[in-house]
Amino acid sequence: MTTTVHEALASSPWADQPRPTTTAGWLDRAADVAGILATDAVERDRAQAVPTAEVQLLKDAGLVTLLGPVEHGGAGETWETAYRVIREIASGDGSIGQLIGYHYLWAWAVRLVGTPAQIAAVEELYTTNDFFFGGAVNPRDNDLSITEDGDELVYNGRKSFSTGSKVSDLTVLEGVLEGTEKHVFAIVPTQQDGIVFHDDWDNLGQRLTESGGVTITDVRIPWAAAAGYVDKEPIELTYGTLNLPTIQLVFANFYLGIAQGGLKAGTAYTRKNTRAWPYGGDDKQSASEEWYILEGYGRLQSQVWAAEALADAAGAEISGLLHAEREALTPEQRGHAAVRIAAVKQLTTDVALAVGTTIYELTGARATSSSVGLDIYWRNARTHTLHDPVAYKRREVGEYALLGRVPEPSWYT
């Protein structure tokens, strides 16, 4: 597609079309959105405007409610599909791939820790209203402080990161109840006086994710809305610990999407603009005949295909767990899924960074022009792959291979 985001919103390309009813249809819809995003991704990245239009595009395409219940207008799709949608969107724009991935995770948060009544209420709320989620849950910061005030809980504190911030309709908060070790998740409306975003996201890449800091001041929820609490006591399920491997695979899939987008952009540039090298003693007429260019793209494509296969296998595994009965999940099942995802995370990190740098060797010096914009792929991959040290993912896989150990649940595993 050659339609820009704003042109697509103006023309409403899906207004006269029914929403897809099959997995293949949803993947095609995601590919259409990715094509629109790719058209002006570099220009939008440089402008660094709040991605209100991009999120509206996701809403108009129906992708925001991909995991929502069918009875409330959602697609009722599985996480296996959601991971592939994240990857597809990221191939067009890495920032928007991250946004939709985090949205899916936070939309599912109530299923991870909530009561049946809370799950039903939140899923109806966000699906029927086409609401978009953000989250102020950064484990490296101090937890938000929660105090009791009668039948209400009151949240206060600051977080360094709140991905989705201004473009979200609902925000997930997490804090610790004063005087206890009880962590309490809550889903609250984003637009309220007690939530103030710092507008300080000015990073190397993933520039349209609205991931800056936030201050929470006297944000109140009723005790009944404390996710997963009954009579002020938490429900303890292994299922709730799937939060971390689930989002780690979200990361891996938008890394992979960034790699796919970079490879596509690099090959397109080479076919059109790269010149053969005339001083090698084996002169070629075109760059597409150069052995080192063919070898280079062959290596990158093979790495991307391998990462896709591993990501799909891990996605199928954890999707099966996420859609099964919550009480049935065992620590062993959770641990095996987590170590497979650790393997995907390290592989996609390596592949995304390799594509982002190697495409310059295969496109040539003129491709470094700012007008070409190939830098967006390395910048996006480099920025988010620092989220947590990939060395620890390699260690987790090494412990499994050598010692048969699976990762213990933590804020990052």
Contacts with 290 (C-beta within 8 Å, 6 or more apart), sequence order: 276, 277, 284
Query: E strands, 192-240, where?
Result: 195-197, 214-222, 229-230, 233-234
Q: Which CATH superfamily is domain 238-403 in?
A: Butyryl-CoA Dehydrogenase, subunit A, domain 3 (1.20.140.10)
pTM higher than 0.95, yes or no? yes
* Start-end of CATH 1.10.540.10 domains in the chain: 5-132
pLDDT digits (tens, 9 = 90+) for 366-413: 999 999 999 999 999 999 999 999 999 999 999 999 999 999 999 999
Handedness of CA 88, 92, 94, 99 (dihedral sign): negative
> How far, in Å, CA of 411 to CA of 129, rounded?
30
Residue 21, CA distances (Å) to 24, 49, 409 in order = 9, 33, 36
Which overall architecture, per CATH, does domain 5-132 show?
A: Orthogonal Bundle (1.10)
Residue 360 neighbours by CB distance under 10 Å: 16
Delimiting residues of CATH 1.20.140.10 domain(s) in the chain? 238-403
The DSSP-derived string for 376-399 is HHHHHHHHHTTSS-HHHHHHHHHH
Q: Which fold has domain 135-234?
A: Butyryl-CoA Dehydrogenase, subunit A; domain 2 (2.40.110)
What confidence tens digit (pLDDT) does each residue in 287-346 have? 999 999 999 999 999 999 999 999 999 999 999 999 999 999 999 999 999 999 999 999
pLDDT by residue (tens digit) across 84-132?
999 999 999 999 999 999 999 999 999 999 999 999 999 999 999 999 9
From-to residues of CATH 2.40.110.10 in the chain: 135-234
Helix (H, G, I), strand (E, B) or coil at 23: helix
